[in-house]
Amino acid sequence: MSQIIDRRLNGRHKSAVNRQRFLNRYKTHIKKMVAESINKRSITDIDSGETISIPASDIHEPLFRHGNGGRREIVYPGNKQFEKGDRVIRPSGNDAGQGQGVGGSNTGSGTDDFVFQISKDEFLEMYFEDLALPDLIKKQITRIPTFKNIRAGYTMSGSPTNINVIRSLKGSLSRRIALASPYKKELTEVNKKISDLMTSESEFTGEIEALQKKVEFLKQKIKKIPFIDTFDLRYNNRVKEQIPTTQAVMFCIMDVSGSMDKIKKDIAKRFFILLYLFLKRNYQKIDVVFIRHHTSAKEVDEQEFFFSRETGGTVVSSSLQLLKKIIQDRYDQNCWNIYAAQASDGDNWNADSPHCFDLLINDIMPTMQYFAYVEIMPRLHQSLWDAYIKVNKIFSNFSLQTINELSDIYPVFRELFKRQIT
């Protein structure tokens, strides 16, 4: 049996091409394993790599085998039974490949699953594939200019690492041709004179010797022209050019009231951590604003958002009021693509839910590109859900989903942020 494997090595002895082929071939299985693993992780290792196991029965590689029939000559080491010319009886199909081990399983032979490790980048690539912020449009070039280096011809000075060898050699060749051309032209004329005098009588011997000395002089002049000079050197010239970039802001709003127990908060944290990793991986110019709320809302940093123990009652409108204020103070809707994601268990004062509806309809949704709300169950929907359903019917860019358990985080996340086909 023969098996052909491409083992051409890349940097640091890694066959990156073959690895990418393998990941593409088993992408469906790997993505399934990645989705399952995310729900088993703690918050601290949410973005690390992963060990993937693929059943051996699912792995098929092309093989070259000797078919039945035909003639072939094989030299077996340690042969004491056969001589040249003897015919070896082929093993039957039932006997082929049977070893002589002791104590094997009575259910037949088997093969261990294929296990391999994917890196952090490969894990996130698989996890966030086909996801994007919905309706991301370019409203204005970001306030902080973004530049990239572009080629802009050649320059006569620069770093040695930027030397353009081909351009420098072309300049060297042109200079040597230009400097040597007069001498070569004169050398040709002198050689012609010598050739004419050689055919004449001997009285021109002295003149011939003088011309031969001139030939040597001209050859020396040509030889002294340097192969390359500092004047010939050309360096790749690069200039910075400002490129247009979209600027977006994502508001992460989390309910931390007393009704949000440890399990619900953990689900909300996992959802927002996935969102945060997704944004940082796919968009370089994006602001992330964290808002926590119970009876009052507060803008916090990432550390406090995920790990603070502060709690209390529930007034959801406080977070929407703060959201409205921050947008008015810092994010002009004509310049920014504004997104928001909110996580709550839906518990709210009944009198406050109509206020949330009014804030969303009149002040917040007209400024939004997209607003995603996830309600963490299990419990019956309350007045907040009913108010948000009404918002969803009015604004198509408002989406809401429910999460009942950890296993729902991944499908809900993908449903909210799936890439839209235009």
CATH number, domain with residue 342: 3.40.50.410
266 plus 350 within the same structural domain: yes
CA angle, residues 220, 221, 227, in degrees to nearest 5: 95
**How does pLDDT run across 354-382, given as a tens digit for each residue?**
999 999 999 999 998 889 899 987 667 88
d(CA 126, CA 35): 9
Helix/strand/coil (H, E, C) string of 15-69? CHHHHHHHHHHCHHHHHHHHHHHHCCCCHHHCCCCEEEEECHHHCCCCCECCCCC
**How does pLDDT run across 144-170, given as a tens digit for each residue?**
566 778 888 888 888 888 899 999 999
pLDDT band at 43 (very low <50, low <70, confident <90, very high): very low
164 plus 37 within the same structural domain: no
229 plus 252 within the same structural domain: no
Q: Range of 207's domain?
A: 160-236
pLDDT at 117: 66
pLDDT band at 394 (very low <50, low <70, confident <90, very high): very high
For CA atoms 33, 34, 35, 39, give the dihedral sign: positive
230 plus 255 within the same structural domain: no
Q: Is 221 helix (H, G, I), strand (E, B) or coil?
A: helix
pLDDT at 380: 76
pLDDT at 358: 93
330 plus 257 within the same structural domain: yes
Kindly state whether residue 63 falls inside one of the protein's structural domains. yes
Kindly state whether residue 143 falls inside one of the protein's structural domains. no
285 plus 187 within the same structural domain: no
Most confident of 171-185, 187-201, 204-218: 171-185
407 plus 300 within the same structural domain: yes
**How does pLDDT run across 52-97, given as a tens digit for each residue?**
666 555 555 556 666 666 676 766 677 677 777 777 776 665 544 4
Burial of 330 (0-12, 13-18, 19+ CB in 10 A): exposed
Q: Is the pLDDT of residue 17 over 50?
A: yes
Residue where a domain stops, chosen among 209, 236, 263 = 236
d(CA 182, CA 59): 73
pLDDT at 257: 85
Q: Average pLDDT for residues 203-230, to the nearest whole number?
A: 85
412 touches 374 (CB < 8 A): yes
Count of structural domains within the chain: 3
Residue where a domain stops, chosen among 236, 271, 300 = 236
Torsion angles phi and psi, residue 272, rounded to 5: -70, -30
Q: Average pLDDT for residues 256-268, to the nearest whole number?
A: 82
How is the chain split among helix, strand and coil, in percent rounded to 5? 45, 20, 40
pLDDT at 323: 94
Its pTM stands at: 0.53
For CA atoms 140, 144, 148, 152, give the dihedral sign: positive
256 plus 355 within the same structural domain: yes
Torsion angles phi and psi, residue 363, rounded to 5: -120, -35
Residue where a domain stops, chosen among 236, 263, 281 = 236
191 plus 336 within the same structural domain: no
DSSP 104-125: --TT----PPEEEEE-HHHHHH
**How does pLDDT run across 314-346, given as a tens digit for each residue?**
889 999 999 999 999 988 888 788 889 999 988
59 touches 65 (CB < 8 A): no
Kindly state whether residue 51 falls inside one of the protein's structural domains. yes
**How does pLDDT run across 273-293, given as a tens digit for each residue?**
777 777 776 666 778 899 999
pLDDT at 13: 46
267 plus 340 within the same structural domain: yes
Q: Is the pLDDT of residue 235 over 80?
A: yes
Please list the residues that pair with 300 across neighbouring strands: 290
CA angle, residues 220, 224, 230, in degrees to nearest 5: 170
pLDDT at 248: 80
Kindly state whether residue 372 falls inside one of the protein's structural domains. yes
Q: Which helix (H) or strand (E) holds 387?
A: helix 383-394
Kindly state whether residue 271 falls inside one of the protein's structural domains. yes
231 plus 255 within the same structural domain: no
pLDDT at 100: 46
Nearest Cα residue to 253 out of 227, 272, 226: 272
Kindly state whether residue 146 falls inside one of the protein's structural domains. no
255 plus 226 within the same structural domain: no
Mean pLDDT of the chain: 76
d(CA 414, CA 165): 50
Phi-psi region of 70 (alpha: psi -120 to 50; beta: other; left: phi over 0): left
Kindly state whether residue 26 falls inside one of the protein's structural domains. yes
pLDDT at 68: 65
Q: Is the pLDDT of residue 10 over 70?
A: no
Kindly state whether residue 153 falls inside one of the protein's structural domains. no
